[in-house]
Amino acid sequence: MVEAEGRTFSFGDEDSIAPEVLETFPYEYPEREIVVEIDTDEFTAVCPFSGLPDFGTLRVRYVPDRRIIELKSFKYYLVGYRNVGIYQEHAVNRLLEDLVACCQPRWMEVVLDYRVRGGLHTVARAESGTRTGDSTGG
């Protein structure tokens, strides 16, 4: 139980996020640079200040080196955020850190585009590594 704005809500902290569920498989064409794009409009976590749920669109783009993220394990990983109290700006960094540790890409970008709440729209973006040429479309 966590107290937020004088009310008590039941949600966990970042320790309940489980990056160990993430799995990968070998990228069989490491000499060929490709961009892998994964997105979902069902990302959810809890605002640790208000205790209210945050909903958003998550976009992950990366250039693999030797490993590809296995999608079913990625879904299980994301479900772990559902009841976690985490600020939006921290969530994007935590996602990036866990995903980079999982697959060690050449380059990765994580974008969380949150739904409007209280008249405010938030987009948080973080990246790791170096982009080569125009291969990422960025």
Which residues carry out catalysis? 47, 54
Beta bridge partners of 63: 107
For residue 15, count other CB atoms closer than 10 A to its CB.
7
In the chain, how many H helices and how many E strands? 2, 8
Q: How far apart are CA 51 and CA 9, in angstroms?
A: 6
The stretches of 15-124 forming alpha helices (DSSP H) are 71-79, 88-103
